[in-house]
Amino acid sequence: MSPRHRVVLTAMGIVSPIGNGLAATVDSLRGGRPGIGPVTSFDVSQSRSKTAGLVKDLREPKNRREARWHRASLMMAAALEELREADGAFVPEACVIGTTSGGMTFGEDFFRGRKTGNGSDRDAQWIANYPPQKAVLDTLDLAKWNVPVEIIANACASGTNAVGRAMSMIRHGLCRRVLCGGYDVISELVFMGFDCLQASTDELCRPFDKDRTGLVLGEGAALLALENRDDAMARGADIVCEISGYGISTDNHHLTQPHPSGIGPRMAMERALAVAGREAAAVDYVNAHGTATVFNDGSEGAAITELCPGVAVSSTKALTGHTLGAAGAIEAVFCGLAIREGFLPPNGNFREADPAWQMDIVANVSREKALRCVLSNSFGFGGTNASIVMEAVA
């Protein structure tokens, strides 16, 4: 049995539809301001959904090399710069990043070029940017960090898997410091995919609402600096919170639908709490996966109701859209901010509670509350489920 070390979060960086940077993010979360707007980068005239959470005012390329970068690389670079500004002494030993579609927009461009006959062998640039690892390597290169990289593609759970995996590596002494996070960029293929499954809505995203009609997609990137707590304290690092638990489960019910009983989400949450050594009653707040689809919210709502009835719950996806592989990392940053600043992020566009569940939905308006123990959930296609426990440091 390997030793157990406590793991803390010392710095974060974020780019999301509700703001670039932590300060803008806190303002938007406290004010319940959404970042959803019309999709203009491809034709959505025939699709059911026409909106998404889009990153605005993204940092410009700073040199010729960056000018060739993928949008995801620029998002990741912005997140990294903020993280390093907060903790310039953090140097990771490994990097774990979640994503679902990587540089899919480059793949789309390549295909269209070949299909129309307008492509050329210079299209190698597109392909160089297509692999999901490209944005990650660009980011690490900025900081001159030559460390082992794991790119986790566990669908929409990827970001939480990345944070949880990083936590586990430090907890068990495989590493002392790990950079983790997630990213995804809106692409036509993925947008049309959710649209054709009728998982996307043509109106507002209303997580956990009785009359919810589906999700709105989003994009963004977030990075988190995780470190062995003793090391962080010894160097006087600013500790945001502790990451104390991680649970993963697989629900083999269906490739795109969770088991309605909520068994998959429940196992992930129970396992995360067990690692943290916490009872469910200790949880002050759940940042839910909460995509606002009938099936996801049904399964997650049932699981939360069974595990910790009456707990404060919100899904921030009404504000950001569902940022897929980035979602878990973005929401881990939201939870870190909520713990540090003492508030509950709101569940936007909420009208009426579904009577099937006992949850205290943080409806539309943020609440001031000191938080000690928080669960953050992410669930994905393929029946993959992940939860992390984040706690205030006494």
Partner 1 sequence: MKLEAAITGRAWVTPLGSDLAAVSAQIDAGVPGEIELVQDPLAKRPLRLMRVPSGLVAEVSRLPRLRRSSAISLYAVEAALRAVEMAGSAVGRTAVIVAVSSASVVYTHRFYRRIVEEGARGASPALFPETVHNAPASHVAAALGIDGASYTLVGDGTVGFSALHMAAGLLRMDEADRCVVVGAEEVDVITAEAYRTWRFGGVYSEGAGAVVLERAGGLKITTHPGTPFTTRTAAAAALDNVLDVMEAEPDLVVYGASAGEIGRLEQRELAARGLLGVSLRQSLGDALGAASLFQIIQAVNRLDSGKRALVCGLGINLQAGAAALYAES
The stretch among 11-19, 67-75, 168-176, 236-244 that binds partner 1 (CB under 8 A) is 168-176
Q: Is 196 a catalytic residue?
A: no
Binding to partner 1 (CB under 8 A): which residues in 238-267? 248-252, 255-256, 264, 267
The stretch among 93-101, 201-209, 286-294, 371-379 that binds partner 1 (CB under 8 A) is 93-101
Is residue 201 a contact residue for partner 1 (CB under 8 A)? no
Binding to partner 1 (CB under 8 A): which residues in 267-286? 267
DSSP state of 349: T
CB-wise, 148 or 310, nearer to partner 1? 148
Nearest 10 degrees: Cα torsion 296, 53, 125, 133: -50
Query: Binding residue for partner 1 (CB under 8 A) from 24, 91, 143, 147?
Result: 147
Query: b/e map of 367-380 (b: 16 or more CB within 10 Å)?
Result: beeebebbbbbbbb
Residue 243 C-beta: closest distance to partner 1, Å: 15
Is 358:309 a contact under the CB 8 Å cutoff?
yes
Q: Give the Cα separation of 107 and 94 in Å (integer).
A: 28
Residue 14 C-beta: closest distance to partner 1, Å: 23
Is residue 155 a contact residue for partner 1 (CB under 8 A)? yes
CB-wise, 74 or 344, nearer to partner 1? 74
Residue 248 C-beta: closest distance to partner 1, Å: 5
Query: Binding residue for partner 1 (CB under 8 A) from 24, 58, 192, 393?
Result: 192
Q: Give the Cα separation of 34 and 390 in Å (integer).
A: 24
Name the phi and psi angles at 243, rounded to 5: -110, 110
Query: b/e map of 246-280 (b: 16 or more CB within 10 Å)?
Result: bbbbebeeeebbbbeebbbbbbbbbbbbebbebeb
Is residue 184 a contact residue for partner 1 (CB under 8 A)? no
Considering the candidates 95, 156, 205, 308, report the single residue annotated as catalytic.
Answer: 156
Binding to partner 1 (CB under 8 A): which residues in 34-63? 43-47
Is residue 154 a contact residue for partner 1 (CB under 8 A)? yes
Binding to partner 1 (CB under 8 A): which residues in 204-223? none
By rule CB under 8 A, what string of x and - marks binding of each residue 120-139 to partner 1?
-x-xx--xx-xxxxx--xx-
Structure tokens at 86: 């907060």
Letter for the amino acid at 107? G
CB-wise, 40 or 250, nearer to partner 1? 250
Binding to partner 1 (CB under 8 A): which residues in 307-346? none
Q: What share of the chain is helix, strand, coil (3-state, %, to 5)?
A: 40, 25, 40
- Token pair 């979602």 in the structure block, residue: 327
DSSP state of 62: -
Is residue 22 a contact residue for partner 1 (CB under 8 A)? no
Candidates 224, 246, 179, 223; CA nearest to 388 is 246
Is residue 114 a contact residue for partner 1 (CB under 8 A)? yes
Is residue 170 a contact residue for partner 1 (CB under 8 A)? no
Considering the candidates 95, 205, 241, 289, report the single residue annotated as catalytic.
Answer: 289
Q: Give the Cα separation of 216 and 233 in Å (integer).
A: 40
Catalytic residues: 156, 289, 322
